[in-house]
C-alpha cells in the first residue's frame, strides 16, 4: 500500500501540470501584429512612442501641457513673423530654379489665331517670366488675363513640354463701325463694343450713327445687302429716336424710312435708283415714311410728290 504522504505528493504534482485540453496554468505575454509589413514591430516610430510612454513627462501631465504650450507659442511666433512663409517661398524659388536648370524653364511662346491682337499684348497678359518653371506657370490665371484683351473672344493656353507655352486665340469679328456721343467704335454683330477705332482703318465696314444704332442694326444691314444699288451708294445708317432709320447716301442724300414696313420701302428705293435714276437729279431728301406716297425734297427747297410708279 502506498503511504498517505506519497499520495498527497502525487496529487500536488498533478495540480501543477497543464490539463490535456491545452489550457495553461498561467497566461503568457501578449503579441503585437503589424498590419501591412510583417515583423516590423520594433520600428523607430514605435520606439519613440514607447520611450515617451515610459518617460516621466507623460506621467506628469502638468509638465507635458506646459511644454506643449511653449512649443505652440514658438510655432505661432514663427508664422506671425513671416519666417515660415518666407522659408516656403525661398524653397519654392529654389525648386523652380532647379527645374528651370533641368530644361523645363519657359523659353518661348507659340502664338496662333491673332490678327488684330498684338503679340506684345499677349506676352504682357500672360505674365510669364523667362526661365520660369513650366510646371509652376498659372495657366488659368494667364487665360483669364488674355480674355480681358479687346479682340480676344476665346483663348486656349497650354504647356508644350519641355519649355514652351502655346496660345491659340479666337478673335472677335468686327461687324460695323458705330458713331455715338462717346466716339467711334468697332462693334460685333450683337452691338457689343470691341474697341475704339479710326474710320480709315475699316473702310469696308458699314457705319451706324446714333444711340442704340449698334444694337438694332444687324437686320437692316442684312436687308440692304440684298439691294445692290442701295448698298453701292450707302454711306451710313442713322438711328432716329431709337425708333426708325435714315439712310445717308452719296452726295448727302437722306432717305427717311418708316418705323414699320421699311423692308418694302427698301424695294421701292432700289426701284427709284435703278429704274428712275432719282439720284441723278438734284434731290436732297427722299421721304419713304408713308406706305402710299413718297416725297422728294430738292436742294433748292422745293418739295415734290411723285405718284408711285411714275417718279419723273
pLDDT at residue number 183: 93
Instruction: List the pLDDT tens digit at each of the 312 positions of the chain.
Output: 444 444 444 454 445 444 444 444 443 333 232 223 344 444 444 455 456 556 554 455 666 566 666 665 655 554 455 544 444 444 455 555 655 556 678 999 999 999 999 999 999 999 998 888 888 899 999 999 999 999 999 999 999 998 899 999 999 999 999 998 889 999 999 999 999 999 999 999 999 999 999 999 999 999 999 999 999 999 999 999 999 999 999 889 999 999 999 999 999 999 999 999 998 888 999 999 998 888 888 887 666 666 555 555
* Residue range(s) in the chain whose domain bears CATH number 3.40.50.11690: 176-304
243: closest CA among 264, 262, 222, 267?
Answer: 262
pLDDT at residue number 141: 96
* Residue range(s) in the chain whose domain bears CATH number 3.10.20.310: 89-171
Class of domain 176-304: alpha beta
User: CA dist 204 to 58, 184, 250, 312, Å?
Assistant: 87, 15, 15, 33
Give CA–CA dist 197/184, Å, rounded: 6
User: CA dist 30 to 27, 33, 57, 97, 281, Å?
Assistant: 9, 10, 26, 54, 118
pLDDT at residue number 99: 57
Domain 89-171 sits in CATH at: 3.10.20.310
pLDDT at residue number 124: 96
- What's the longest Cα–Cα distance across the chain? 165
pLDDT at residue number 60: 58
Give CA–CA dist 255/289, Å, rounded: 9
pTM, rounded to two decimals: 0.65
Helix 83-99 vs helix 61-80: crossing angle, to nearest 10: 60
Please check whether residue 266 is in contact with residue 274, taking contact to mean a CB–CB distance below 8 angstroms: no
pLDDT at residue number 215: 94
Q: Which residue has the cell 513671416?
A: 82
Amino acid at each position: 500500500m502506498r503511504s498517505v504522504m506519497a499520495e498527497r505528493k502525487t496529487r500536488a504534482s498533478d495540480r501543477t501540470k497543464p490539463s490535456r485540453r491545452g489550457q495553461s496554468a498561467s497566461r503568457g505575454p501578449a503579441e503585437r501584429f503589424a498590419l501591412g509589413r510583417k515583423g516590423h514591430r520594433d520600428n523607430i516610430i514605435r520606439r519613440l512612442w514607447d520611450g515617451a510612454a515610459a518617460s516621466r513627462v507623460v506621467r506628469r501631465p502638468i509638465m507635458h501641457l506646459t511644454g506643449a504650450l511653449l512649443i505652440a507659442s514658438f510655432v505661432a511666433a514663427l508664422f506671425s513673423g513671416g519666417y515660415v512663409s518666407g522659408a516656403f517661398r525661398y524653397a519654392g524659388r529654389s525648386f523652380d530654379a532647379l527645374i528651370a536648370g533641368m530644361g523645363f524653364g519657359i523659353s518661348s511662346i507659340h502664338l496662333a489665331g491673332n490678327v488684330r491682337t498684338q503679340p506684345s499684348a499677349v506676352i504682357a497678359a500672360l505674365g510669364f517670366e523667362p526661365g520660369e518653371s513650366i510646371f509652376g506657370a498659372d495657366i488659368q490665371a494667364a487665360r483669364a488675363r488674355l480674355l480681358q484683351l479687346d479682340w480676344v473672344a476665346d483663348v486656349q493656353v497650354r504647356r508644350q513640354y519641355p519649355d514652351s507655352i502655346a496660345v491659340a486665340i479666337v478673335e472677335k469679328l468686327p461687324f460695323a463701325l458705330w458713331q455715338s456721343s462717346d466716339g467711334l467704335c468697332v462693334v460685333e454683330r450683337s452691338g457689343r463694343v470691341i474697341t475704339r477705332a479710326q474710320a480709315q482703318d475699316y473702310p469696308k465696314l458699314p457705319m451706324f450713327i446714333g444711340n442704340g444704332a449698334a444694337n438694332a442694326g444687324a437686320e437692316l444691314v442684312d436687308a440692304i445687302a440684298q439691294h445692290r444699288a442701295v448698298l453701292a451708294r450707302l454711306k451710313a445708317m442713322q438711328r432716329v429716336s431709337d425708333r426708325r432709320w435714315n439712310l445717308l447716301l452719296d452726295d448727302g442724300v437722306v432717305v427717311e424710312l418708316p418705323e414699320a414696313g421699311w423692308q418694302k420701302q427698301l424695294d421701292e428705293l432700289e426701284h427709284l435708283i435703278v429704274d428712275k435714276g432719282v439720284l441723278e437729279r438734284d434731290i436732297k431728301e427722299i421721304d419713304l415714311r408713308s406706305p402710299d406716297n413718297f416725297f422728294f425734297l430738292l436742294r433748292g427747297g422745293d418739295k415734290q410728290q411723285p405718284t408711285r410708279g411714275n417718279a419723273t
